[in-house]
Copies of this chain bind each other. A is one copy, B any other.
Amino acid sequence: MLYGQIHLTLPPWIHDEVDATRVYADNESRIALAIDLSRRNVAHRSGGPFGAAVFNEAGRLIGIGVNRVVPSNCSIAHAEMMAVATCQQRMQRFRLNDGDGDGDGRIILATSSQPCAMCYGALIWAGIDELLIAARSDDVQTLAGFDEGPLPADWAGELEKRGIRVQRDLMRDHARDVLRDYGESGVVY
């Protein structure tokens, strides 16, 4: 028999520990949340050391993601994928910035680490306007031991060409701390 369903979930602690009513007014508070999610995900042993969050232009939190690959038995369950897909379920649209005049304005995705090759492509289809990144790809590989996969040579330029503004190295040291702690813990998630 063929399986016809995929069911992915975020861990239950997100509902207890994330304030979904708060306004995240600046990029620092947005990237800080993504990094905080990555740290909590490791502490709860609910997945790998990666977190992501989606905001509308007013700074309202409209989507959240953490890595769920091992607990879900699913290689596509990266933090960025979980964040955009849960946000799309909430909005009931497959492109977040579809310009339907609902007042969301620009859509911003903050991620604790530079997106891997899969998430990189996924963000182009997801409909985001701005990508905020904390740790670099090198940090992920050297501190936590994860391969990030092959990207186009000018990966950031290719996003900018498609209207996605990229800001890098935001609170990079904080994100590196989480990756280092994870790498040194010996946990494999």
Contact with B along A155-185 (1 / 0, CB 8 A): 1001000000000000000000000000000
Q: Is A51 an interface residue (CB 8 A)?
A: no
Instruction: Name the residue of chain B whose CB is nearest to the CB of A123.
Output: B118
A63 with B10: CB separation less than 8 A = no
A15 located at the interface, meaning its Cβ lies under 8 Å from any Cβ of chain B in the complex: yes
- The interface on chain A, measured as residues whose beta carbon lies within 8 A of the other chain's beta carbons, has a size of 58
Shortest Cβ gap from A94 to chain B (Å): 5
Give the number of times this chain occurs in the complex, counting copies. 2
B residues less than 8 Å from A124 (CB atoms): 117-118, 149-150
Name which residue of chain B comes closest to A4, CB basis: B10
Residues in chain B near residue A119, CB distance under 8 A: 118, 121
Write the residues of chain A forming the contact surface with B, with a CB cutoff of 8 angstroms. 1-10, 12, 14-15, 18, 20, 61, 63-64, 69-70, 72-77, 81-82, 84-95, 116-122, 124-127, 149-153, 155, 158
